[in-house]
Amino acid sequence: MDDLISSPEPRTRRVPRSVTAVAIALGLTLGAAGIAVAASPPPLSESATKAVVARDGDRIAERRGHRGEKHRGERGERGLGGPGRALHGEAVVGDGKGGFRTVAFQRGEVTAVSPTSLTVKSADGFSRTYALTAATKVNRGRAVVGDIKNGHRVVVRADVVGSTATAGGIRDAALRSAEKTD
């Protein structure tokens, strides 16, 4: 009777090999990801991040400056207009000698022009006066400062030292249109 009262041994469940293999692979993957995160360098400081972004932006602008006219448009103004269709801005970039310099750009309408200065007002109301020198290029040297008139739409690229922004390059859309008809 003892045989009738005793219950059979409970059956043990076996985990299929495929499930075991997946679990091991998942564990190894997560472990490797954890090691990679632990070994990665700390994030850059805010100022270092800005310098890297500005440096890369300069490289892109320089490359765009070597392309033909048909590549102008939404991606920037051939290296003079800053990123995309931005109206104005400043960035700290490498000077090519191991140091840094501050550059500015602005897109807008000329409100005042003289042989030594140019004032531009952007669509958002921002206005800035730029110093002009003999080194200032207008439309890559195909025009002169005297050709720029009040009301012309321009893009200015400048070097900033202290509170003075000195224009290095000016792109005047009205003068470009005149150049194409000549």
Domain carrying residue 149: 46-181
3-state SS, the chain, equals CHHHHCCCCCCCCCCCHHHHHHHHHHHHHHHHHHHHHHHCCCCCCHHHHHHHHHHHHHHHHHHHHCCCHHHCECCECCCCCCCCCCCEEEEEEECCCCCEEEEEEEEEEEEEECCCEEEEECCCCCEEEEECCCCCEEHHHCECHHHCCCCCEEEEEEEEECCEEEEEEEEEHHHHHHHHHC
Write out pLDDT tens, residues 151-181. 999 999 999 999 999 999 999 988 876 666 5
33 is a domain residue: no
With 0.85 as the threshold, say if the pTM is over it. no
25 is a domain residue: no
Between the ranges 50-54, 62-66, 153-157, where is the mean pLDDT highest?
A: 153-157
> How many separate domains does the chain show?
1
